[in-house]
């Protein structure tokens, strides 16, 4: 079955710096890759997603890149702010099937003021 590996497990940056989180997936048929942000005790919230027909997508300070050949995708956050501190999860799914999400184990991002 699908497996998603996520690195690093923790990431600490200074306010204003960039943060990069990387994920790899095992099932080459996966074609949809969302990223969720989860603050302590709260629901996972979708922050950005990308489909396999696109190599890069950007939304203000957040961008995601996808390399289908290497089966990896990355989240880039620029100009980090303390409110970006949270756990970030990558996920993969197969659109057109069950579309169940297979999640990575998460990255705890801390942005220091």
Per CB under 8 A, residues contacting other proteins are: 4, 6, 32, 34, 36, 42-46, 49, 51, 89, 91, 95-96, 98-106
- Closest separation between CB of residue 16 and other proteins, Å? 28
Residue matched to tokens 């993969």: 92
- Our CB check for other proteins shows the closer of 15 and 46 to be 46
- Closest separation between CB of residue 48 and other proteins, Å? 10
């Amino acid at each position: 079955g699908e497996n998603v590996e996520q690195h690093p497990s923790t990431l600490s940056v200074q306010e204003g710096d960039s943060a990069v989180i990387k994920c790899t997936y095992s099932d080459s048929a996966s074609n949809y890759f969302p990223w969720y942000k989860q603050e302590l005790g709260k629901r996972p919230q979708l922050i950005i997603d990308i489909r396999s027909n696109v190599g890069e997508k950007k939304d203000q300070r957040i961008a995601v890149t996808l390399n289908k050949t290497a089966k990896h995708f990355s989240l880039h956050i620029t100009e980090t702010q303390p409110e970006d501190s949270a756990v970030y999860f990558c996920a993969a799914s197969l659109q057109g099937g069950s579309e169940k999400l297979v999640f990575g184990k998460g990255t705890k991002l801390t942005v220091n003021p």
